[in-house]
Each structure stands twice: as C-alpha cells, then as structure tokens.
Amino acid sequence: MNRTHTVVLVEGISDKSAIEALAERRGRDLAAEGISLVAMGGATNIGTYIGEFGPSGRDLRLAGLCDAGEEGAFRKSLERAGLGSDLNRSDLEALGFFVCVADLEDELIRALGTATVERVVDAEGDLSSFRTLQKQPTWRGRSTHDQLRRFMGAGGGRKIRYSGPLVAALELDRVPRPLEGLLAHL
C-alpha cells in the first residue's frame, strides 16, 4: 500500500462520502494513490488539520473542499500556514482547495435537478417525509430546490446517507465544478 502523500481536508463525513463515491465512479482508488480523505468535524477545525498535515506538521500535499460560508476560515488558515497571502478563490483552487456555492448539497441538487433528486429521495424511501416538510408553513411556497436542501440538512444523518446516492445519480458530464476540480487536482 502506498504511503499517504496527499491529505484532502473536508468539513464532514458527507463531503468525504461524496468524494469517495465520485472517485470510485471514475475508477480511482484514492487510498492506493496515496491520497487520504479527512473529515474534520467542521470547518472551524481547518487550522488544526493544516498544522498537523501541512508545512509545519507532516509536510504533506494538501487539498480540500469547503462551503462558501467557510471560505474565509480556509483562506486564513492557509495564509497562516505560509501557503500564500491575500488568497482569492483562484489562488485557493491553485492550491487544491475548492469552494461549493452554498454547500455540497446545493451543488448536487443543481447538477441533478430537483426532479432527479426527488426520485433519489423516493428510492431511499423518504418521499413522504419530504412531502411533509413541503407542507410545513415555513417551507410552503419556497422553491423545491430550497426545500430539498433543507430536507438533506435536517433529520439525523441525511447528508451522509444521501451523498453516495446523489453522486451515483449524476451524469459524469454534469459533476459539480468543485468536485470535478478537486478530483482533477488530485
């Protein structure tokens, strides 16, 4: 087995699962390639993980994926680690860090379209739960996209449970830009 030479830092387990599922669909074995995916348990932990795996730690090649709301934390931690200054989004991507518009679920819903996501929800046996959410006063009248995003983010581990099935439903020519960019970088 190859030693790890690259560590991909992601916010959570659902992000890790989505990357693993896409890599598998593309015929890649990241572990065999020396690439380790690390779910950090939240973006606020980025500094700790860059310290452990980056230039001042094990000095491994780093890459990552984050939500738009966490881009600043990633940028500051990379700058503190000496990996650049005044980093913009293009600089982050050159370093191997890709930003999801809103979050990964938002990216996947847009890439798949709401009808396909609803079919995945139905196949997973959760369509009646989703319909219940749609009837709630807070969510009535909102876009199906927003309702699906909320549905994925609520209810005991749905993000984790759905990351694989949503990636499996993707046409490989419609992979969200951050996921595509990250895998190409690796």
**For residue 1, is pLDDT > 60?**
no
SS3 assignment, position 71:
helix
Tokens of 112: 């798949």
Percent of the chain with pLDDT over 70: 99
End-to-end CA, the chain: 18
β-pairing, 61-67 vs 6-10, is: parallel
141 three-state secondary structure: coil
Please give the order of strands across the beta sheet that includes 6-10. 35-39, 6-10, 61-67, 97-100
pTM as predicted: 0.92
Is the pLDDT confidence value at 155 over 80? no
Q: Give tens-digit pLDDT for 70-87.
A: 999 999 999 999 999 999
- Interacting residues of 138 by C-beta distance below 8 A, sequence separation 6+: none
CA-to-CA dists, residue 61 to 52, 58, 99, angstroms: 12, 9, 18
pLDDT band at 157 (very low <50, low <70, confident <90, very high): confident
